[in-house]
Structure 1
Amino acid sequence: MAKKSIFKKALKIIGGIIIFFTLPSLLLFGFMYLKYDEDLPTGQQGAKADALATKMLDALNEDAYLNTDYLEWTFKGRHHYKWYKRDGKCEVYWDDFTVILDLKDYSQSKVFVAQQEYNGVEQQKYIDKAINFFNNDSFWLVAPYKVFDKGVERRLVTTDSNEEALLVTYTTGGSTPGDSYLWHLDKDGKPKSFQMWVDILPIDGLEATWENWTTTDTGALLPTFHKFLIFGLELEDIKGTEL
Protein backbone atom coordinates (compact mmCIF):
# COMPACT_ATOMS: atom_id res chain seq x y z
CA MET A 1 0.00 0.00 0.00
CA ALA A 2 2.82 2.37 0.86
CA LYS A 3 4.44 1.83 -2.53
CA LYS A 4 1.14 2.51 -4.33
CA SER A 5 0.64 5.68 -2.28
CA ILE A 6 4.12 6.92 -3.11
CA PHE A 7 3.59 6.11 -6.80
CA LYS A 8 0.25 7.96 -6.91
CA LYS A 9 1.79 10.92 -5.13
CA ALA A 10 4.64 11.00 -7.62
CA LEU A 11 2.17 10.96 -10.53
CA LYS A 12 0.23 13.84 -9.01
CA ILE A 13 3.42 15.85 -8.58
CA ILE A 14 4.53 15.15 -12.15
CA GLY A 15 1.05 16.00 -13.44
CA GLY A 16 1.06 19.21 -11.44
CA ILE A 17 4.42 20.22 -12.87
CA ILE A 18 3.25 19.55 -16.43
CA ILE A 19 0.09 21.61 -15.90
CA PHE A 20 2.10 24.37 -14.20
CA PHE A 21 4.34 24.77 -17.23
CA THR A 22 1.89 24.04 -20.06
CA LEU A 23 -1.28 25.81 -18.92
CA PRO A 24 0.20 29.34 -18.99
CA SER A 25 1.67 28.61 -22.42
CA LEU A 26 -1.69 27.38 -23.70
CA LEU A 27 -3.45 30.42 -22.27
CA LEU A 28 -0.87 32.75 -23.81
CA PHE A 29 -1.18 31.07 -27.19
CA GLY A 30 -4.97 31.29 -27.00
CA PHE A 31 -4.79 34.99 -26.16
CA MET A 32 -2.36 35.69 -29.00
CA TYR A 33 -4.41 33.65 -31.44
CA LEU A 34 -7.59 35.58 -30.64
CA LYS A 35 -5.77 38.91 -30.71
CA TYR A 36 -3.63 38.55 -33.81
CA ASP A 37 -4.86 35.76 -36.07
CA GLU A 38 -6.25 37.06 -39.37
CA ASP A 39 -7.43 35.45 -42.56
CA LEU A 40 -5.31 35.99 -45.65
CA PRO A 41 -6.75 39.08 -47.35
CA THR A 42 -7.96 39.08 -50.92
CA GLY A 43 -6.74 41.50 -53.53
CA GLN A 44 -6.56 42.23 -57.22
CA GLN A 45 -3.71 41.21 -59.47
CA GLY A 46 -2.77 43.42 -62.39
CA ALA A 47 -1.37 46.81 -63.29
CA LYS A 48 -2.31 48.59 -60.04
CA ALA A 49 -0.62 45.96 -57.89
CA ASP A 50 2.48 46.08 -60.08
CA ALA A 51 2.49 49.88 -59.90
CA LEU A 52 2.48 49.80 -56.09
CA ALA A 53 5.31 47.24 -56.13
CA THR A 54 7.29 49.50 -58.48
CA LYS A 55 6.66 52.48 -56.18
CA MET A 56 8.16 50.50 -53.29
CA LEU A 57 11.21 49.59 -55.36
CA ASP A 58 11.69 53.20 -56.45
CA ALA A 59 11.54 54.34 -52.82
CA LEU A 60 14.35 51.90 -51.99
CA ASN A 61 16.51 52.77 -55.03
CA GLU A 62 16.23 49.40 -56.74
CA ASP A 63 18.80 50.32 -59.40
CA ALA A 64 21.41 50.78 -56.68
CA TYR A 65 20.56 47.36 -55.24
CA LEU A 66 20.82 45.70 -58.65
CA ASN A 67 24.25 47.30 -59.06
CA THR A 68 25.37 45.98 -55.67
CA ASP A 69 27.57 43.01 -56.51
CA TYR A 70 28.59 42.15 -52.94
CA LEU A 71 26.60 42.12 -49.69
CA GLU A 72 27.90 41.34 -46.22
CA TRP A 73 25.90 41.19 -43.00
CA THR A 74 25.37 39.46 -39.65
CA PHE A 75 21.94 38.15 -38.62
CA LYS A 76 21.06 38.21 -34.91
CA GLY A 77 24.74 38.10 -34.02
CA ARG A 78 24.97 34.41 -34.94
CA HIS A 79 24.98 33.92 -38.71
CA HIS A 80 27.46 35.77 -40.90
CA TYR A 81 27.28 36.22 -44.66
CA LYS A 82 29.45 37.29 -47.58
CA TRP A 83 27.21 37.22 -50.63
CA TYR A 84 28.79 37.56 -54.07
CA LYS A 85 25.57 38.29 -55.93
CA ARG A 86 27.00 38.51 -59.43
CA ASP A 87 28.87 35.21 -59.05
CA GLY A 88 25.95 33.42 -57.40
CA LYS A 89 27.90 32.40 -54.32
CA CYS A 90 27.59 33.11 -50.61
CA GLU A 91 29.92 32.30 -47.73
CA VAL A 92 27.83 31.35 -44.67
CA TYR A 93 29.51 31.24 -41.24
CA TRP A 94 28.18 30.02 -37.88
CA ASP A 95 29.97 28.50 -34.88
CA ASP A 96 32.93 26.53 -36.33
CA PHE A 97 31.24 25.94 -39.67
CA THR A 98 31.71 27.65 -43.01
CA VAL A 99 29.72 26.73 -46.09
CA ILE A 100 30.52 28.27 -49.46
CA LEU A 101 27.12 28.03 -51.07
CA ASP A 102 26.88 27.77 -54.83
CA LEU A 103 23.46 29.36 -55.29
CA LYS A 104 23.31 28.22 -58.93
CA ASP A 105 24.15 24.60 -58.16
CA TYR A 106 23.93 23.57 -54.51
CA SER A 107 25.78 20.32 -55.25
CA GLN A 108 28.94 22.34 -55.93
CA SER A 109 28.89 23.89 -52.43
CA LYS A 110 31.82 23.30 -50.07
CA VAL A 111 31.86 22.75 -46.30
CA PHE A 112 34.61 23.66 -43.86
CA VAL A 113 34.79 22.72 -40.18
CA ALA A 114 37.32 24.62 -38.07
CA GLN A 115 38.75 25.97 -41.36
CA GLN A 116 39.39 22.47 -42.71
CA GLU A 117 37.45 21.25 -45.75
CA TYR A 118 34.94 18.58 -44.75
CA ASN A 119 33.62 15.85 -47.06
CA GLY A 120 32.20 13.49 -44.42
CA VAL A 121 28.82 11.84 -44.10
CA GLU A 122 27.21 15.00 -42.68
CA GLN A 123 28.37 17.28 -45.48
CA GLN A 124 24.91 17.52 -47.06
CA LYS A 125 23.33 18.25 -43.69
CA TYR A 126 25.55 21.29 -43.26
CA ILE A 127 24.85 22.45 -46.81
CA ASP A 128 21.09 22.13 -46.22
CA LYS A 129 21.41 24.07 -42.97
CA ALA A 130 23.33 26.85 -44.73
CA ILE A 131 20.68 26.98 -47.48
CA ASN A 132 17.90 27.39 -44.89
CA PHE A 133 19.91 30.02 -43.00
CA PHE A 134 20.55 31.95 -46.21
CA ASN A 135 16.94 31.77 -47.44
CA ASN A 136 15.60 33.04 -44.12
CA ASP A 137 18.24 35.59 -43.17
CA SER A 138 18.66 37.15 -46.62
CA PHE A 139 14.87 37.53 -46.85
CA TRP A 140 14.90 39.73 -43.75
CA LEU A 141 17.50 41.86 -45.52
CA VAL A 142 16.33 42.12 -49.13
CA ALA A 143 12.71 40.91 -49.31
CA PRO A 144 11.33 44.14 -50.84
CA TYR A 145 13.64 43.69 -53.83
CA LYS A 146 12.18 40.22 -54.54
CA VAL A 147 8.61 41.25 -55.38
CA PHE A 148 9.12 40.70 -59.12
CA ASP A 149 11.02 37.42 -58.79
CA LYS A 150 9.91 34.46 -60.87
CA GLY A 151 6.90 32.71 -59.32
CA VAL A 152 5.79 35.76 -57.30
CA GLU A 153 2.18 36.94 -57.34
CA ARG A 154 1.29 40.53 -56.45
CA ARG A 155 -2.13 41.78 -55.37
CA LEU A 156 -3.41 45.21 -54.41
CA VAL A 157 -5.23 45.11 -51.07
CA THR A 158 -7.32 47.86 -49.46
CA THR A 159 -6.93 47.65 -45.68
CA ASP A 160 -9.57 48.31 -43.03
CA SER A 161 -8.06 51.80 -42.64
CA ASN A 162 -8.66 52.39 -46.36
CA GLU A 163 -4.98 52.33 -47.26
CA GLU A 164 -3.37 50.49 -50.14
CA ALA A 165 -1.12 47.55 -49.26
CA LEU A 166 0.78 45.06 -51.38
CA LEU A 167 0.11 41.34 -50.93
CA VAL A 168 3.01 39.22 -52.20
CA THR A 169 2.79 35.43 -52.52
CA TYR A 170 5.81 33.24 -53.32
CA THR A 171 4.45 30.28 -55.25
CA THR A 172 7.88 28.75 -55.85
CA GLY A 173 11.44 28.93 -54.54
CA GLY A 174 12.91 29.43 -51.09
CA SER A 175 12.52 27.01 -48.21
CA THR A 176 8.75 27.46 -47.77
CA PRO A 177 6.95 28.14 -51.08
CA GLY A 178 3.38 29.33 -50.68
CA ASP A 179 4.13 31.96 -48.02
CA SER A 180 2.40 35.34 -48.31
CA TYR A 181 3.33 38.79 -47.00
CA LEU A 182 1.24 41.96 -46.84
CA TRP A 183 3.47 45.02 -47.17
CA HIS A 184 2.36 48.24 -45.44
CA LEU A 185 4.02 51.30 -46.98
CA ASP A 186 4.42 54.96 -46.10
CA LYS A 187 3.21 57.71 -48.42
CA ASP A 188 6.43 57.51 -50.45
CA GLY A 189 6.19 53.75 -50.86
CA LYS A 190 8.87 52.83 -48.34
CA PRO A 191 8.06 49.69 -46.32
CA LYS A 192 6.97 50.20 -42.72
CA SER A 193 6.05 46.60 -41.89
CA PHE A 194 4.65 43.41 -43.29
CA GLN A 195 2.17 40.84 -42.04
CA MET A 196 3.00 37.18 -42.54
CA TRP A 197 0.99 34.13 -43.56
CA VAL A 198 3.75 31.52 -43.43
CA ASP A 199 3.95 27.81 -42.65
CA ILE A 200 6.51 28.29 -39.90
CA LEU A 201 4.18 30.44 -37.75
CA PRO A 202 1.07 28.97 -36.06
CA ILE A 203 -0.73 32.33 -36.08
CA ASP A 204 -1.64 34.01 -39.38
CA GLY A 205 -1.16 37.71 -39.99
CA LEU A 206 1.54 38.45 -37.41
CA GLU A 207 3.32 41.71 -38.15
CA ALA A 208 7.01 42.65 -38.19
CA THR A 209 8.40 46.13 -38.69
CA TRP A 210 10.99 47.17 -41.24
CA GLU A 211 12.97 50.05 -39.77
CA ASN A 212 16.30 51.69 -39.01
CA TRP A 213 17.26 51.70 -42.66
CA THR A 214 20.87 52.12 -43.71
CA THR A 215 22.29 53.16 -47.07
CA THR A 216 25.09 51.07 -48.55
CA ASP A 217 28.05 52.52 -50.42
CA THR A 218 26.18 51.71 -53.62
CA GLY A 219 23.09 53.67 -52.52
CA ALA A 220 20.78 50.72 -51.78
CA LEU A 221 18.53 50.95 -48.71
CA LEU A 222 18.53 47.98 -46.31
CA PRO A 223 16.93 47.51 -42.87
CA THR A 224 18.93 46.96 -39.69
CA PHE A 225 16.05 46.11 -37.34
CA HIS A 226 12.70 44.32 -37.24
CA LYS A 227 10.35 44.33 -34.27
CA PHE A 228 8.29 41.15 -34.08
CA LEU A 229 5.90 40.96 -31.10
CA ILE A 230 8.25 41.44 -28.12
CA PHE A 231 11.32 40.31 -30.06
CA GLY A 232 13.89 42.26 -32.03
CA LEU A 233 15.73 40.95 -35.08
CA GLU A 234 18.98 42.81 -35.67
CA LEU A 235 21.02 42.88 -38.85
CA GLU A 236 24.50 44.22 -38.25
CA ASP A 237 27.73 44.98 -40.11
CA ILE A 238 25.87 45.57 -43.39
CA LYS A 239 28.10 46.36 -46.35
CA GLY A 240 27.16 46.68 -49.98
CA THR A 241 29.67 47.42 -52.73
CA GLU A 242 30.32 47.10 -56.45
CA LEU A 243 33.16 44.72 -57.31
Structure 2
Amino acid sequence: MKLLLKILKVIGIALLSLILIITITSYFLSEELPEGQQGAEADKLAQKILEELNYEAFENTKVISWTFAGIHSYEWYKAENFVIVKSDDYKVKLDLNDYSNSEVISSKKSNDDKLIKSSIKNFNNDSFWLIAPYKLMEDSVERRIVEENGDKGLLVTYTSGGSTPGDSYLWKVDENNKPESFKMWVSIIPVGGLEAKWKDWVETQSGMIVSTKKSVFGIPIDITNLETKP
Protein backbone atom coordinates (compact mmCIF):
# COMPACT_ATOMS: atom_id res chain seq x y z
CA MET A 1 0.00 0.00 0.00
CA LYS A 2 2.82 2.38 0.88
CA LEU A 3 4.53 1.55 -2.41
CA LEU A 4 1.34 2.29 -4.34
CA LEU A 5 0.94 5.65 -2.59
CA LYS A 6 4.56 6.47 -3.37
CA ILE A 7 4.06 5.63 -7.05
CA LEU A 8 0.89 7.74 -7.21
CA LYS A 9 2.74 10.62 -5.57
CA VAL A 10 5.55 10.42 -8.14
CA ILE A 11 3.01 10.33 -10.99
CA GLY A 12 1.16 13.31 -9.50
CA ILE A 13 4.37 15.33 -9.23
CA ALA A 14 5.28 14.44 -12.83
CA LEU A 15 1.86 15.55 -14.11
CA LEU A 16 2.04 18.81 -12.19
CA SER A 17 5.53 19.42 -13.58
CA LEU A 18 4.29 18.76 -17.12
CA ILE A 19 1.36 21.16 -16.65
CA LEU A 20 3.75 23.80 -15.31
CA ILE A 21 6.13 23.37 -18.26
CA ILE A 22 3.25 23.68 -20.76
CA THR A 23 1.93 26.79 -18.98
CA ILE A 24 5.35 28.48 -18.93
CA THR A 25 6.03 27.54 -22.56
CA SER A 26 2.65 28.90 -23.60
CA TYR A 27 3.28 32.19 -21.79
CA PHE A 28 6.68 32.86 -23.35
CA LEU A 29 6.26 31.37 -26.83
CA SER A 30 2.60 32.00 -27.64
CA GLU A 31 1.85 34.64 -30.29
CA GLU A 32 -1.35 36.57 -30.80
CA LEU A 33 -3.32 35.78 -33.94
CA PRO A 34 -2.29 38.50 -36.42
CA GLU A 35 -4.77 40.76 -38.14
CA GLY A 36 -4.87 40.75 -41.91
CA GLN A 37 -6.67 42.20 -44.88
CA GLN A 38 -9.32 40.24 -46.72
CA GLY A 39 -9.93 40.86 -50.39
CA ALA A 40 -8.53 40.40 -53.89
CA GLU A 41 -4.86 40.35 -52.88
CA ALA A 42 -5.38 37.45 -50.48
CA ASP A 43 -7.41 35.52 -53.04
CA LYS A 44 -4.75 36.16 -55.68
CA LEU A 45 -1.99 34.71 -53.47
CA ALA A 46 -4.13 31.66 -52.71
CA GLN A 47 -4.69 31.13 -56.44
CA LYS A 48 -0.94 31.38 -57.11
CA ILE A 49 -0.27 28.69 -54.51
CA LEU A 50 -2.90 26.42 -56.08
CA GLU A 51 -1.39 26.97 -59.52
CA GLU A 52 2.10 26.11 -58.24
CA LEU A 53 0.81 22.85 -56.73
CA ASN A 54 -1.25 21.88 -59.81
CA TYR A 55 -4.71 22.16 -58.27
CA GLU A 56 -6.32 20.84 -61.45
CA ALA A 57 -4.43 17.56 -61.01
CA PHE A 58 -5.65 17.32 -57.40
CA GLU A 59 -9.24 17.88 -58.52
CA ASN A 60 -8.91 15.12 -61.11
CA THR A 61 -7.22 12.65 -58.76
CA LYS A 62 -9.59 9.77 -58.03
CA VAL A 63 -7.64 7.86 -55.36
CA ILE A 64 -5.05 8.96 -52.78
CA SER A 65 -3.34 6.46 -50.49
CA TRP A 66 -0.72 7.21 -47.83
CA THR A 67 0.56 6.42 -44.35
CA PHE A 68 0.65 9.23 -41.80
CA ALA A 69 3.55 9.30 -39.33
CA GLY A 70 3.88 5.53 -39.56
CA ILE A 71 0.63 5.08 -37.60
CA HIS A 72 -2.50 5.26 -39.75
CA SER A 73 -2.86 4.32 -43.41
CA TYR A 74 -5.55 5.56 -45.77
CA GLU A 75 -7.07 4.73 -49.13
CA TRP A 76 -9.17 7.75 -50.05
CA TYR A 77 -11.50 7.20 -53.00
CA LYS A 78 -12.16 10.86 -53.76
CA ALA A 79 -14.39 10.24 -56.75
CA GLU A 80 -16.68 7.97 -54.71
CA ASN A 81 -16.24 9.96 -51.47
CA PHE A 82 -15.27 7.20 -49.08
CA VAL A 83 -12.03 6.26 -47.34
CA ILE A 84 -10.55 3.08 -45.90
CA VAL A 85 -8.74 3.77 -42.61
CA LYS A 86 -6.25 1.11 -41.46
CA SER A 87 -3.94 0.44 -38.55
CA ASP A 88 -2.47 -2.70 -37.03
CA ASP A 89 -5.63 -3.16 -34.95
CA TYR A 90 -8.51 -2.25 -37.26
CA LYS A 91 -9.89 -1.45 -40.69
CA VAL A 92 -12.75 1.01 -41.09
CA LYS A 93 -14.68 2.26 -44.10
CA LEU A 94 -15.84 5.86 -43.71
CA ASP A 95 -18.69 7.17 -45.84
CA LEU A 96 -17.76 10.83 -46.30
CA ASN A 97 -21.22 11.69 -47.61
CA ASP A 98 -22.94 10.30 -44.51
CA TYR A 99 -20.84 9.18 -41.54
CA SER A 100 -23.76 7.13 -40.21
CA ASN A 101 -23.23 4.71 -43.11
CA SER A 102 -19.63 4.03 -42.06
CA GLU A 103 -18.68 0.52 -40.99
CA VAL A 104 -15.95 -1.38 -39.17
CA ILE A 105 -14.53 -3.99 -41.56
CA SER A 106 -12.29 -5.67 -39.00
CA SER A 107 -11.11 -4.83 -35.50
CA LYS A 108 -9.45 -6.15 -32.36
CA LYS A 109 -11.55 -3.67 -30.39
CA SER A 110 -15.16 -4.08 -29.25
CA ASN A 111 -16.69 -0.58 -29.50
CA ASP A 112 -17.47 0.05 -33.18
CA ASP A 113 -19.07 3.48 -32.65
CA LYS A 114 -16.05 4.76 -30.76
CA LEU A 115 -13.70 3.36 -33.41
CA ILE A 116 -15.63 5.04 -36.22
CA LYS A 117 -15.58 8.39 -34.37
CA SER A 118 -11.84 8.16 -33.78
CA SER A 119 -11.29 7.19 -37.44
CA ILE A 120 -13.23 10.28 -38.57
CA LYS A 121 -11.12 12.48 -36.30
CA ASN A 122 -7.89 10.86 -37.49
CA PHE A 123 -8.82 11.18 -41.14
CA ASN A 124 -9.77 14.84 -40.76
CA ASN A 125 -6.43 15.57 -39.09
CA ASP A 126 -4.16 13.39 -41.21
CA SER A 127 -5.68 14.35 -44.57
CA PHE A 128 -5.34 18.02 -43.62
CA TRP A 129 -1.61 17.55 -43.07
CA LEU A 130 -1.46 16.02 -46.53
CA ILE A 131 -3.61 18.35 -48.66
CA ALA A 132 -4.10 21.56 -46.63
CA PRO A 133 -2.83 23.87 -49.42
CA TYR A 134 -5.48 22.52 -51.80
CA LYS A 135 -8.21 23.72 -49.40
CA LEU A 136 -7.31 27.43 -49.57
CA MET A 137 -10.19 28.48 -51.81
CA GLU A 138 -12.96 26.43 -50.20
CA ASP A 139 -16.19 28.22 -49.25
CA SER A 140 -15.57 27.69 -45.53
CA VAL A 141 -12.20 29.50 -45.62
CA GLU A 142 -11.51 33.15 -44.87
CA ARG A 143 -8.30 34.47 -46.46
CA ARG A 144 -6.23 37.45 -45.35
CA ILE A 145 -2.91 38.98 -46.35
CA VAL A 146 -0.57 39.46 -43.40
CA GLU A 147 2.70 41.42 -43.58
CA GLU A 148 5.36 40.01 -41.27
CA ASN A 149 8.97 41.23 -41.25
CA GLY A 150 8.56 42.69 -44.72
CA ASP A 151 7.15 39.48 -46.19
CA LYS A 152 3.55 38.75 -47.09
CA GLY A 153 1.86 35.62 -45.80
CA LEU A 154 -1.58 34.13 -46.30
CA LEU A 155 -3.67 33.76 -43.15
CA VAL A 156 -6.52 31.26 -43.55
CA THR A 157 -9.28 30.61 -41.04
CA TYR A 158 -11.63 27.61 -41.31
CA THR A 159 -15.07 28.79 -40.29
CA SER A 160 -16.72 25.36 -40.54
CA GLY A 161 -16.05 21.74 -41.40
CA GLY A 162 -13.48 19.26 -40.12
CA SER A 163 -13.09 18.39 -36.44
CA THR A 164 -11.94 21.81 -35.20
CA PRO A 165 -13.61 24.72 -37.02
CA GLY A 166 -12.23 28.15 -36.15
CA ASP A 167 -8.56 27.14 -36.48
CA SER A 168 -6.21 29.55 -38.30
CA TYR A 169 -2.96 29.03 -40.21
CA LEU A 170 -0.50 31.62 -41.52
CA TRP A 171 1.21 30.28 -44.64
CA LYS A 172 4.69 31.39 -45.70
CA VAL A 173 5.66 30.70 -49.33
CA ASP A 174 8.88 30.84 -51.36
CA GLU A 175 9.59 32.93 -54.46
CA ASN A 176 7.60 30.45 -56.59
CA ASN A 177 4.59 30.55 -54.22
CA LYS A 178 5.27 27.04 -52.97
CA PRO A 179 4.44 26.71 -49.24
CA GLU A 180 7.42 26.53 -46.88
CA SER A 181 5.65 26.53 -43.51
CA PHE A 182 2.65 27.67 -41.56
CA LYS A 183 2.08 29.03 -38.07
CA MET A 184 -0.88 27.56 -36.22
CA TRP A 185 -3.57 28.98 -33.95
CA VAL A 186 -5.58 25.84 -33.22
CA SER A 187 -7.85 24.77 -30.39
CA ILE A 188 -5.93 21.62 -29.48
CA ILE A 189 -2.55 23.39 -29.01
CA PRO A 190 -2.19 25.97 -26.20
CA VAL A 191 0.74 27.75 -27.90
CA GLY A 192 -0.42 30.23 -30.55
CA GLY A 193 1.81 30.70 -33.58
CA LEU A 194 3.57 27.34 -33.36
CA GLU A 195 5.35 26.78 -36.68
CA ALA A 196 5.31 23.66 -38.84
CA LYS A 197 7.71 23.27 -41.77
CA TRP A 198 6.46 21.77 -45.04
CA LYS A 199 9.31 20.14 -46.98
CA ASP A 200 10.27 17.47 -49.53
CA TRP A 201 7.64 18.24 -52.13
CA VAL A 202 7.06 15.54 -54.76
CA GLU A 203 4.94 15.23 -57.88
CA THR A 204 2.68 12.20 -57.58
CA GLN A 205 1.45 9.82 -60.26
CA SER A 206 -1.65 11.96 -60.91
CA GLY A 207 0.34 15.20 -61.12
CA MET A 208 -0.66 16.74 -57.77
CA ILE A 209 2.28 18.05 -55.72
CA VAL A 210 2.54 17.06 -52.07
CA SER A 211 4.87 17.73 -49.15
CA THR A 212 6.06 14.38 -47.76
CA LYS A 213 7.83 15.69 -44.66
CA LYS A 214 6.56 18.11 -42.05
CA SER A 215 8.27 19.04 -38.81
CA VAL A 216 7.24 20.81 -35.60
CA PHE A 217 9.97 21.74 -33.10
CA GLY A 218 12.27 19.65 -35.30
CA ILE A 219 10.11 16.57 -34.78
CA PRO A 220 9.41 14.96 -38.18
CA ILE A 221 5.96 14.04 -39.42
CA ASP A 222 6.46 11.83 -42.45
CA ILE A 223 4.08 10.95 -45.26
CA THR A 224 5.00 7.54 -46.65
CA ASN A 225 3.53 4.98 -49.07
CA LEU A 226 2.12 7.87 -51.07
CA GLU A 227 0.31 6.96 -54.26
CA THR A 228 -2.28 8.74 -56.37
CA LYS A 229 -4.41 7.60 -59.28
CA PRO A 230 -5.86 9.98 -61.89
Please, what TM-score do these two structures have when normalized by structure 1? 0.86
Structure-1 residue corresponding to 2:213: 225
Match 1:32 to one of 25, 34, 41: 25
Q: Distance in 1 between matches of 2:16 and 2:72?
A: 34
Match 2:165 to one of 141, 160, 177: 177
1:61–1:14 CA distance, 2 compared to 1 (3 A): closer
Q: Distance in 2 between matches of 1:170 and 1:199?
A: 12
Secondary structure at the aligned position of 1:90 is classed as strand
Shift of 1:29: 2.7
Q: Rg: which structure is higher?
A: 1
Secondary structure at the aligned position of 2:18 is classed as helix
Secondary structure at the aligned position of 1:145 is classed as helix
Shift of 1:110: 1.4
Letter in 2 for 1:184: K
Q: Distance in 2 between matches of 1:75 and 1:191?
A: 19
Letter in 2 for 1:151: S
Q: Number of aligned pairs?
A: 228
How big is the alpha-carbon RMSD for the aligned residues of Structure 1 and Structure 2?
Answer: 2.3
Structure-2 residue corresponding to 1:73: 66
Q: Percent identity?
A: 45
Match 1:59 to one of 52, 60, 63: 52
Structure-1 residue corresponding to 2:185: 197
Q: Distance in 2 between matches of 1:233 and 1:41?
A: 26
Please, what TM-score do these two structures have when normalized by structure 2? 0.91
Worse-matched range after superposition: 28-37 or 59-68: 28-37
Q: Distance in 2 between matches of 1:199 and 1:95?
A: 29
Secondary structure at the aligned position of 2:165 is classed as coil
Deviations 1:11-47 (A, max 9, x none): 899767744x356535543553244210000001110
Deviations 1:95-143 (A, max 9, x none): 221111110111111112249xx9x7x3221111110010000000000
Letter in 1 for 2:152: E
Structure-2 residue corresponding to 1:3: none
Deviations 1:24-75 (A, max 9, x none): 5355435532442100000011100000101111111111111111100000
Letter in 2 for 1:196: M
Letter in 1 for 2:133: P
Letter in 2 for 1:95: D
Q: Distance in 2 between matches of 1:17 and 1:171?
A: 39
Match 1:208 to one of 190, 193, 196: 196
Shift of 1:226: 0.8
Secondary structure at the aligned position of 1:133 is classed as helix
**Mapped pair 1:125 → 2:111:** no
Structure-1 residue corresponding to 2:175: 187
1:96–1:16 CA distance, 2 compared to 1 (3 A): closer
Shift of 1:94: 1.5
1:23–1:172 CA distance, 2 compared to 1 (3 A): closer
Secondary structure at the aligned position of 1:210 is classed as strand
